[in-house]
């Protein structure tokens, strides 16, 4: 058992494994305001890694419709319920500090038939059956089924709402899958923090499947070992023929039609905290602008996936899912300052990993008010740089307007 600092909880916590930190950490930001649920990411992953026998049910990347969808079904509400049973009424935040119990702390309190290192459960076969159950099913007026609210869709929160939640393994800082494995078959790579299962050590006990709060470790019955998202590590290593040796984003990121995804590698200090890196776009979005938030931080694994929350969804729901930073994140996103607007343009402008950015100021385009707050749009240019500081992408806040030549009726 180690005492570790979890910055997402604002406190130290007990972690049932030795503490190790990588030099750099695989991390990503998904802007849920933009996801259109097209599942291109899902298919990009499936066709690359999980198209073989025994992998039929494996969707390392999935996109579920909240509030009702989930893969496996009800993965999050089930775990929230288990935590509530162990710590009734106590799963609360005090400002930015979490006062409740993580999956590791709750496991110490709940002594079941078999002790667990992280509170969890094994999903049933039925729960793995429908990767896209309740697709596009909204929450409507309370107590009335299959009806839209007559008040319609008005901010700050729609009365009838849903949103798409895209998920992959979070390559957690304190992985529950890794801590739970009795064979020490799971490890975190020192060079990029990617969490992998050593297929030769795994004996298929499925302790990782039980422990992962996000249910992203998956057992393969044809080989009797567990598999999981590998963060497309050959691409991170620059081994994809397309990369010319440069670290490249994963397949699911590169395929994203909605341009919701930005992935990178953040530098980690010796103490496990994110090293100051002001102009790394991920560092800026998560640590400076604080517009991107972790998924269920209260589970305690310090996930490295971050989400810009959808602005039309009731705040109570979002706060349970993304923690206490929701109001600030949505307020900043709705009325972005000059830098935030520029950095947002970097999403999906390159398949190579952007390690830093700089901004060249452009002319003022217009001024307006958004929800009573003044907003000015500048046509700044944002430049993304690779790890050696070389330019890999250049784009502007105002998208250039192209007019097709009036030559063919159908120019496609
Ligand atoms: S999301 Fe689950 S499988 Fe991935 S590193 Fe975290 S605990 Fe392990
Ligand atoms: S490809 Fe992008 S927009 Fe489409 S479902 Fe996946 S995350 Fe959403």
Dihedral sign of CA atoms 139, 78, 64, 335 in order: positive
Would the CB of 41 count as within 6 Å of ligand 2?
yes
The DSSP code for 352 is B
Helix (H, G, I), strand (E, B) or coil at 207: helix
Amino acid 412: pLDDT: 56
**Atom from ligand 2 closest to the CA of residue 255:** 1
Domains of the chain plus CATH, in order, are 2-331 (3.30.70.20), 338-396 (no CATH)
**How buried is 237 (Cβ within 10 angstroms: 0-12 exposed, 13-18 middle, 19+ buried)?**
middle
Residue nearest to atom 5 of ligand 1 (CA): 171
Cβ atoms within 10 Å of 13's Cβ, excluding its own: 18
Cβ atoms within 10 Å of 403's Cβ, excluding its own: 5
Residue with tokens 């390559």: 171
- Substitution candidate for ligand 2 out of 28, 32, 33, 37 with most atoms within 8 A of CB: 37
Amino acid 410: pLDDT: 66
Amino acid 342: pLDDT: 98
**How big is the CA angle at 286 (ends 275 and 105), to the nearest 5 degrees?**
85
Would the CB of 165 count as within 6 Å of ligand 2?
no
* 38 CA to centre of ligand 2 in angstroms: 5
- Substitution candidate for ligand 2 out of 164, 250, 259, 347 with most atoms within 8 A of CB: 164
Amino acid 132: pLDDT: 96
Rounded CA-CA distance 274/271 in Å is 9
* 57 CA to centre of ligand 2 in angstroms: 19
Whether 291 and 317 have beta carbons less than 8 Å apart is answered as no
Amino acid 409: pLDDT: 67
Would the CB of 256 count as within 6 Å of ligand 2?
yes
Q: pLDDT per position in the chain (412 positions), as tens?
A: 899 999 999 999 999 999 999 999 999 999 999 999 999 999 999 999 999 999 999 999 999 999 999 999 999 999 999 999 999 999 999 999 999 999 999 999 877 777 899 999 999 999 999 999 999 999 987 777 777 777 777 788 888 999 999 999 999 999 999 999 999 999 999 999 999 999 999 999 999 999 999 999 999 999 999 999 999 999 999 998 877 889 999 999 999 999 999 999 999 999 999 999 999 999 999 999 999 999 999 999 999 999 999 999 999 999 999 999 999 999 999 999 999 999 999 999 999 999 999 999 999 999 999 989 999 999 999 999 999 999 999 999 998 788 877 776 665 5
Element at 6 (helix H, strand E) = strand 2-6
Give residues (CB < 6 A) around ligand 1.
Answer: 169-172, 175-177, 195, 212, 214, 216-217, 228, 301
Amino acid 98: pLDDT: 98
**Atom from ligand 2 closest to the CA of residue 36:** 3
Q: Which two structure tokens, joined as six digits, stand for 75?
A: 């993965």
Residue (of 146, 153, 230) closest to 188 by Cα position: 230
- Substitution candidate for ligand 2 out of 34, 64, 256 with most atoms within 8 A of CB: 256
**Atom from ligand 1 closest to the CA of residue 216:** 3
């Amino acid at each position: 058992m180690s005492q570790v600092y979890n910055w997402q909880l604002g406190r130290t916590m007990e972690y049932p494994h030795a503490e190790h930190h990588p030099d750099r950490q695989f991390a990503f930001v998904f802007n849920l305001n933009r996801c259109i649920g097209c599942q291109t990411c899902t298919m990009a992953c499936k066709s690359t890694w999980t198209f073989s026998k025994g992998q039929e049910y494996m969707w390392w990347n999935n996109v579920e419709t909240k509030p009702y969808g989930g893969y496996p079904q009800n993965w999050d509400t089930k775990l929230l319920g288990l935590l509530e049973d162990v710590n009734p009424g106590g799963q609360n935040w005090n400002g930015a500090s979490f006062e409740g119990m993580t999956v590791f702390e709750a496991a110490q309190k709940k002594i079941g038939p078999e002790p667990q290192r992280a509170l969890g459960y094994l999903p049933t076969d039925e729960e793995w059956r429908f990767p896209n159950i309740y697709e596009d099913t909204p929450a409507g007026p309370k107590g009335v089924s299959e009806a839209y609210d007559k008040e319609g869709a008005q901010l700050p929160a729609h009365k009838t709402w849903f949103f798409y939640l895209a998920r992959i393994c979070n390559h957690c800082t304190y992985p529950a899958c890794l801590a739970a494995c009795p064979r020490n078959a799971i490890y975190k790579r020192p060079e990029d923090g990617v969490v992998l299962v050593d297929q030769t050590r795994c004996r298929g006990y499925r302790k990782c499947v039980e422990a992962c709060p996000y249910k992203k470790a998956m057992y393969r019955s044809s080989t009797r070992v567990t598999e999981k998202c590998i963060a497309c590590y050959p691409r991170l290593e620059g081994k994809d023929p397309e990369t010319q040796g440069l670290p490249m984003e994963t397949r699911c990121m590169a395929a994203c039609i909605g341009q919701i995804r930005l992935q990178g590698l953040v530098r980690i200090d010796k103490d496990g905290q994110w090293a100051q890196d002001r102009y790394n776009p991920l560092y800026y979005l998560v640590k400076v602008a604080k517009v991107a938030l972790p998924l269920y931080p209260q589970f305690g694994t310090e996930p490295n996936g971050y989400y810009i929350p959808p602005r039309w969804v009731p705040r109570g729901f979002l706060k349970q899912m993304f923690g206490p930073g929701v109001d600030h994140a949505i307020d900043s996103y709705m009325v972005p300052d000059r830098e935030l607007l520029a950095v947002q343009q970097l999403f999906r402008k390159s398949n190579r990993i952007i390690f830093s950015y700089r901004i060249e100021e452009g002319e003022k385009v217009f001024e307006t008010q958004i929800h009573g707050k003044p907003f000015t749009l500048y046509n700044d240019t944002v430049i993304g740089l690779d790890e050696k500081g070389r330019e890999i992408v250049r784009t502007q806040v105002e998208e250039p307007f192209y007019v097709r030549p009036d030559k063919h009726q159908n120019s496609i």
